C-alpha cells in the first residue's frame, strides 16, 4: 500500500514522502491516527501544495535559524557524565543529551533529528556536533564531556 506521510515516522519515512507499507499497518494504524493518507491521484496532486506550504514556512524561519547559528558560533557546551578512572564514560553521549544541554545553557530548542554526532562519544573530552537547522543553515558546535 502506498501512502503519503503527514509527519516524520522513525524507520518509515519523512514528512510528505510517499512510502510503501504493509496494508494492515497503513490501514489500521497510520491512517486512523492521522499520520498518513492514501497515495491516490487526488492526494498526490494535493501533496505538491502541502510541500510548497511547508517550504514557505521553513523559508520564513531561515533568519531565526541563522540567529541560532550565530549565537552558537564559538560556544562550548558542557555535558556531565559519570566516568571511570580511565576517562571512559558509562554509556555514551547522545543527541538527546545535546538537546538538553542546548536548552539549559543557551535556552534554544532544537529537534532531535536535527542534531548529528559524527563520531560515537564514549570518553571524556571535546567533540563536535553538527546542527542541521535548515538545508541552507548548518551550525557546528563544540561540546565538552566532563566528569560529574
Domain boundaries, the chain: 2-60, 63-147
- Cα–Cα distance between 64 and 133 in angstroms, integer? 10
pLDDT at position 134, please?
Answer: 81
The answer to whether 144 touches 77, Cβ cutoff 8 Å, is yes
CATH architecture of 2-60: 3-Layer(aba) Sandwich (3.40)
Q: Is 136 exposed, middle or buried (0-12, 13-18, 19+ CB in 10 A)?
A: exposed
pLDDT in tens, 65-94: 888 888 888 889 999 989 888 889 998 899
User: Domain 63-147 is of which CATH architecture?
Assistant: Roll (3.10)
Model-level pTM? 0.70
What rounded mean pLDDT belongs to the chain? 90
| Interval 88-135: pLDDT, tens | 999 889 989 999 999 998 888 888 888 999 888 999 999 999 998 887
Amino acid at each position: 500500500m502506498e501512502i503519503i506521510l503527514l509527519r516524520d515516522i522513525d524507520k518509515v519515512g519523512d514528512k510528505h514522502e510517499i512510502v510503501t507499507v504493509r496494508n494492515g499497518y497503513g490501514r489500521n494504524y497510520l491512517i486512523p491516527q492521522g499520520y498518513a493518507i492514501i497515495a491516490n491521484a487526488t492526494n498526490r496532486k494535493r501533496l505538491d501544495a502541502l510541500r510548497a506550504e511547508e517550504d514557505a514556512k521553513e523559508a520564513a524561519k531561515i533568519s531565526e535559524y541563522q540567529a541560532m547559528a550565530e549565537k552558537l558560533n564559538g560556544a562550548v557546551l558542557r555535558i556531565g557524565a559519570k566516568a571511570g578512572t580511565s576517562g571512559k564514560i558509562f554509556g555514551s553521549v547522545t543527541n538527546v543529551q545535546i538537546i538538553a544541554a542546548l536548552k539549559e545553557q543557551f535556552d534554544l530548542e532544537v529537534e532531535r533529528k536535527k542534531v548529528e554526532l559524527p563520531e560515537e562519544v564514549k570518553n571524556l573530552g571535546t567533540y563536535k556536533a553538527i546542527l542541521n537547522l535548515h538545508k541552507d543553515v548548518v551550525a557546528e558546535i563544540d561540546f565538552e564531556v566532563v566528569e560529574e
